[in-house]
Amino acid sequence: MSTATPSADNGNGVMTLENLAKFPEGQKVYSCMQCGTCAATCPYGDDLAFPPRAIITMLEAGLIEEVFNNPGLLNCVTCYACMAKCPRGIKLTEVLLPLVKEQVFTHLKEVPAELQKALENTMRYGNPMGESPRKRALWAKSSPVPVPVIAEIKRAVDVLWFVECYPAYHPRGHDGNRATAKLFKALGIDFAILGNEEKCAGECVRMAGETGLFEMLTDANIKLMRKYKFNRIVTGGAHAYDALKHKYPAAGGDFEVHHTTPFFAQHLAQLKPKLKKKLDYTVTYHDACALGRHNGFYEEPRALLQAIPGVKLVEMNHSGVNSICCGGGGGMWLDTYYAEKGCERLSERRVKEALDTGANVLAVSCPYEISRFEDALKVAGGEKRMVVRDVVELLAEALED
């Protein structure tokens, strides 16, 4: 019944845990040599009742029901660390874990309250915060650069900007949106947004194991986007990018899609002469899991930051492929649940490392990270020493004067 990876249909139907061996990437799961690298690299490795290698053992032994009935896998934040490090190259986070997490979610005796509310809100209002869908594009009124809605301008555009929930509703997300609009304008890019019709891309819902809801959102967004003519999609949401890039095509939404950070990096030659304002910041960059480990965008954000006059870039102990997850993604609405279990909040672990670099700006490329790290800095007592900025905010700031 699982449909976590519909893209894997190779004539054997949809991949499930039962028919895994019929698919090349599924067969690879059984090549596990039990080295334990997955458990060791997992940021919540100590709290997973069944780390990936144990899941594989249970699957082979016919005891997978035990894994389904244990809520331990809620501690998987879908950070792609185990997959990036697996010496056998098993696609743990892409193939195995979604199939298992879907079952764990279905078997949960109680869905943690914060997650349940986010899922119910997403189902009803198209965003996890439970805000009115009629207010989704309200932020655009605050943008000094006009932000057209594609249904209103009634013509084809070059870039369809998929705004996503946090940027649409969170005040700090609005800062990033205004910056993105400014950058589009500086580059002369013809763009429009979906406005109030847009719904959550759904990636975090999928990562939590609620595959059915993900499919509902996917279908709604694809049907909507097909109504309009555009060349490509650009989104500032790291997880929205991940879903649009890797999951939407199998559901019939095969669009050219870019994330803002690599997109602006592609336009660096054109952008660089416009970055005239000197920013005397020491910046450390946090590699978002979805952009870094899953899609390999390590150089692009750094190239953009280094193109800003005055910026000094320093690296954290864990960066690039070794970056530590902010705890969002698959764990976005489980902070209270983790705290109740006595787990350290990953965003706090991360900002401590960021503070250790001596940088005064923590640069990010995922809208979740802004609020997560700003909160974590307050808890860690570092809010006077460091600010959190999206890469697009820094670029837009350097555009001025």
Partner 1 sequence: MDILVLMKVVPDVVEELEVGPDGKSLDTSFLRTIINERDDHALEQALLLKDKHGGKVTLLTLDAPDIDDVLFTALAKGADRAVKICGVESVQSTQTAVKLFGETIAKTPGLLPVDLILTGVSAIDDLDGLMAAPIAQQLGWAYTGVVTQVALADKTATVIKEFAGGVRGEYEVPTPAVLGIQAAEKPPRYVPVAKVRAAMKSMTIETVDAPAVEAATTVEVQQMAKPQVTGHAEMIEGSPEEVADKICELLAKRGLI
Please report, as ranges, the residues that interact with partner 1 according to CB under 8 A.
1, 105-106, 110-111, 113, 116, 119-120, 123-125, 130-132, 134, 210-213, 215-216
Q: How far is the CB of 58 from partner 1 (least distance, A)?
A: 22
Q: How far is the CB of 211 from partner 1 (least distance, A)?
A: 7
Nearer to partner 1, 104 or 396 (CB): 104
Q: Are 337 and 75 in contact (CB under 8 A)?
A: no
Report how far residue 26's alpha carbon sits from residue 157's, in angstroms, rounded to the nearest whole number.
40
Q: Calculate the alpha carbon distances from 66 to 3, 30, 34 in Å.
A: 21, 19, 19
DSSP assignments along 69-106, one per residue: T-GGGGG----SHHHHH-TT---IIIIIHHHHHHHHHH
Task: Give the containing element (helix H, strand E) for 161.
Answer: strand 157-162
Phi, psi angle pair for 235, to nearest 5°: -135, 145
First to last CA, the chain: 58
Nearer to partner 1, 28 or 170 (CB): 170
Q: Are 81 and 43 in contact (CB under 8 A)?
A: yes
Nearer to partner 1, 132 or 317 (CB): 132
Nearer to partner 1, 53 or 101 (CB): 101
Q: How far is the CB of 126 from partner 1 (least distance, A)?
A: 11
Nearer to partner 1, 130 or 171 (CB): 130
Q: Calculate the alpha carbon distances from 144 to 63, 174, 308 in Å.
A: 58, 12, 22
Q: What sign does the CA torsion over 362, 363, 365, 367 have?
A: positive
Residues 6+ apart with CB under 8 A from 69: 107
Nearer to partner 1, 287 or 335 (CB): 335
Q: Are 152 and 225 in contact (CB under 8 A)?
A: no
Which amino acid, residue 322?
N
Q: How far is the CB of 212 from partner 1 (least distance, A)?
A: 3
Nearer to partner 1, 89 or 130 (CB): 130
